[in-house]
Chains A and B, each alone.
Chain A
Amino acid sequence: MIQVSFALLMVGLTAAQALAAESNKTLFPAVQPGASTLTVYSTTDLAAIKPLIEDFQKSSPDVSIDYNEYLTNELNALASEACRKQEPLGDLLLSSSVDQLLKLANDGCAAAHTSPETLRVAEWANWRDEVFGFTYEPAVFVYNRSKVPPAEVPRTHVELADLLRERLNYYRGRVGTYDIRLSGIGYLLAFNDARQTTTVFGRLLESMARASAVARCCTGEILDEVAKGNLYIGYNMLGSYAYDAAQRHPELGVVVPRDYTLVLSRGALIPKGAQRSDLGARFLDYLLSERGQSVARTNAFYFTESGELPPGVDGPQNLKESGVAQPIRIGPALLAVQDRAQRQRFIEDWSQSLIELNSPAWTRE
């Protein structure tokens, strides 16, 4: 039964891919004529990447950028296929699902790149000079200020689990999280949650299942629902998107958990044999550079490794110094995350506990 539904889901996904390939393409024309084109395949929301691309084109006016946006799993499927056929996909891949990028690099699909900028990358965010982490994004809770009374705002994973247990009826069907079957980043975060030494995640998952938590493909959708008040709490949202949404919707609150906070570094990879790998490298260097990081801090991803939390975010003063930050290391350990047997079983377990239980009527389309 599960298998069948899974297969159906995959079919749907492939169809969605074909559709997405057409609709998510954006061209940033070069400032100067006679330009060369850099093709970027990315999972980053257009809104977040736009300030970076525009600033990059100020320093490189001769480059136009063909920006293609996908869901993490779609991008991974496309890139793996392209690598297998030895037809490199674009000139630069950006994905929040670094485990997938790491698997691609391990399979020999990545070209190494070193420059003064890549030397600045923290050791945990660089693998073989092939996969680089260029952002610092904590996984946060979001909540709707009008629906969650201040006293109930959960500040740790335990508090969230307890809250859902105590106020089960109030929060039933009102908690949203990633659907890890659709979202690579959701899977990566859930897998790392499960690796924590405490049993908190098990309890939380159980509480969320009992509270009929809603699973969605993407951060954006959940953030919208929370902003509208359809959902009250969003779990494991990417900090950058959450903060961006909170700036647009004042009723959204962002909490950086104080017991532990998974920190994801969005990955970048230059495909082996890319036609304009030089341009890919140029944009990558820009993303890693002082200037790119500063634009990212103010306009795109908001959080940084060393700095303080952005204003209005509830959490420890400084993520790194407080010691709650748990960066997801870009290294071979991510291969375990990408193991297909592992993935299949993890998703099955997760689906069984979360999805198979009764979902509220309004979530079934």
Chain B
Amino acid sequence: MRPEVLRHGPSLFGRLARRISFVLFIGAALLVSAAWYYAETAANKAYDRLLVGAALQMAESLSVEDGILTARLPTSAFELLGLADRDRIFYRVIDTHGQTLTGYDDLKTPTPLERVQDPLSVEEGVYKGEPVRIAHATRILADPAVSGRAYVIVAQTNEARLALTRELTLRATILVFIMSLLAFAGAMLAIRYALQPVEQLGTEVRGRDPHDLTPVTVDVPRELDPFVSSINHFMGRLNERVDLLQRFIADAAHQIRTPLTALTAQIDLLGTGKLDKAGRQHFNRVKERTSELSRLTNQLLSHAMVIHRADSVQLEPISLVDVARRAYRVAIPVTVDPDIVISFEAPDERPFVLGDAVSLREAIVNVIDNALRHGTDQRLEVRVRASGTQAFVEVEDDGPGIPPESWEKATQRFATSKSHEGSSGLGFAIAQEVANAHGGTLSFRARDEKGFTVVLTLPLFKGVAK
């Protein structure tokens, strides 16, 4: 129930991932567009050189023979253009009078030749319905028979350029894609890494014992410091409140105990002599209730003490058998019904646990007391034993026991179903509190033919006892 509360809002990771991928996508799109532009420029430059080269070769081949301008178009010029192996080639040689000497009669440069200043040029154009690059070269002739400007126009379709542009762009795109993927993966890893302290903090806070109100001590990045100190501030205040409350309860119980002792004494003094039957009945009920009240007060005090000691007392190795035996003596009153068979059983080796003798004794007293009051019919058995890494204190009685469905409830404060029998319901709560403070548990073993057992499990102390 606790952790899910945080999961409803969009996760920080998801938000960062979305924004970063958006930025990367825009970046990749820009890079690919740029790659296309550069690839196109590069392809045009490369193939324009071939085109101009061919035009120059053709212009070079013009010569005046017997007073007539002739063109011996070199095959190499066409082979040069043929390097763009799928492109169609158009050319035209124009003599000094503007007449076509050879080639395609209707091939023209986009800018009329008369207006072109440069001796060489390359332009975009359309010929025979196809987009082409058109280059021209000028040859100035100064022969007495033929003088003036002759032109060579060479055009080539764009297939090779487009293919090269596409290839270059594709390669760049693959690179950009891989880079984006790497960047994205890197960013995700970085975000995950950066968010790890938040996760750790969450786990730490979530995994805390509800009674643990000490400050959170996790190493977090500077950015999370305000968050952690807020938590700690809040915890501190809560702790103060709880302390105050506990002190109040202890004080109250303490304050009640003195008049209560006096009250008990007074009732004892009162005697039953002068009372009629009904009066005696009332008197006895008052007496019972008073003793119940004093027991509750004692338990409240004991509870407060256990809690206080859990926070403040240094744990030390103690013999569980000694503690249990002492508790056993305290818990069994002198006035106990002599028909009940009571026994204490301890192993030969003395299991040690790391603990607070006073709290533990209190816990065991409460368990035995509880069994004596509500369970035992004719037999009560207290056993101490050790097995593996754990030590056990078992209190077994031959009473009806607690049905398994009520086990959880039994350890809650004031939750017993038998309050009318004088139970305060604090006994198991105290025992469990102590068990938890010692890193152990309080559990029940279902009733078998022998009886019902309450088990206090504690971790065995492995070191050397003093």
Contact = CB atoms under 8 A, between A and B. Distances in A.
A342 B79 contact: no
Interface string A46-59: 00000000000000
Contacts of B342: none
A336 B75 contact: yes
Which of B73, B90, B101 has the most CB atoms of chain A within a 10 A radius of its CB? B73
A195 B72 contact: no
Contacts of A195: 75
Interface stretch (A145-153, A317-325, A327-335): A327-335
Interface stretch (B81-89, B164-172, B420-428): B81-89
Contacts of B73: 336, 339, 341-342
Interface string B179-220: 000000000000000000000000000000000000000000
A339 B89 contact: no
Given A108-B88, A332-B89, A345 B78 contact: no
B78 A333 contact: yes
B128 A107 contact: yes
Interface string A14-57: 00000000000000000000000000000000000000000000
Contacts, number: 55
A333 B79 contact: yes
A342 B102 contact: yes
A341 B71 contact: yes
Interface in A206-251: none
A339 B104 CA distance: 10
Interface in B218-235: none
Contacts of B130: 108
B72 A106 contact: no
A332 B102 contact: no
B128 A335 contact: no
Interface in A327-359: 331-337, 339-342, 345
Contact of A332 (B72, B81, B128): B81
B102 A335 contact: no
Nearest to A123: B85
A333 B89 CA distance: 10
B70 interface: yes
A127 B157 CA distance: 14
Interface in B102-149: 102-103, 128-130
A128 interface: yes
B74 interface: yes
B89 A340 contact: no
B93 interface: yes
A103 B136 CA distance: 21
A178 B293 CA distance: 138
B77 A336 contact: yes
B60 to A, nearest CB: 14
A102 to B, nearest CB: 10
Contacts of A345: 70, 72
Nearest to B71: A341
A341 B101 contact: yes
Contacts of A336: 73-75, 77-78
Closest 9 CB pairs of A and B: A341-B102, A332-B82, A336-B75, A336-B78, A332-B78, A333-B79, A333-B78, A331-B82, A106-B88
Interface of A: 105-108, 127-128, 195, 331-337, 339-342, 345
Given A195-B75, A333-B78, 16 more contacts: A105-B88, A106-B88, A106-B89, A108-B128, A331-B85, A333-B82, A335-B89, A335-B91, A336-B73, A339-B103, A341-B72, A341-B102, A342-B72, A342-B73, A342-B102, A345-B72
21 contacts: A106-B89, A107-B128, A108-B130, A128-B86, A331-B79, A332-B78, A332-B81, A332-B82, A332-B87, A334-B78, A335-B89, A336-B73, A336-B75, A336-B78, A337-B75, A339-B73, A339-B103, A341-B72, A341-B101, A342-B71, A342-B72
